Amino acid sequence: MELNSTQKRYLRGLAHHQAVVVTVGPNGLSGRVLAEIDHALSTHELIKIRLPFLERAERRRWAEDACRRSGAAPVQGIGRVEVLYRPAPQPRIVLP
């Protein structure tokens, strides 16, 4: 799923005050972590995940892998926190 810049800006605004929902440990994107990300996306549509202390390029790869494996779109990445979006079958968030 691809988001344009207007949609990303809108989603960043919605995510600003949200708390981190899923924290990825040093063991990476295990089955349980991916199941938790999938459940959180199904419930909330827009989530924040926290990645472990890694180099920037490695964190980016983990975020891209999480998006690919969960069917989500990346919205924003700041430091160790990534924002992911995946619309629900009956979306609650209406994108501009």
Which CATH number does the domain housing residue 34 bear?
3.30.110.60
Q: Is 32 part of any domain?
A: yes
For residue 1, pLDDT over 80 is answered with: no
In terms of pTM, does the model score above 0.75?
A: yes
Across all residues in the chain, what is the average pLDDT? 93
Place of tokens 């490695």: 58
pLDDT > 70 fraction of the chain, expressed in percent and rounded: 100
Q: Is 95 part of any domain?
A: no
- Per-residue HEC secondary structure of 17-79 comes to CCCCCEECCCCCCCHHHHHHHHHHHHHHCEEEEECCCCCHHHHHHHHHHHHHHHCCEEEEEEC
Domain that holds residue 11: 5-85
Tokens describing residue 36 = 């938790």
Averaged pLDDT, 71-80: 95
pLDDT for the residue 14: 96
pLDDT by residue (tens digit) across 12-56? 999 999 999 999 998 889 999 999 999 999 999 999 999 999 899
Q: Is 52 part of any domain?
A: yes
Q: Is 90 part of any domain?
A: no
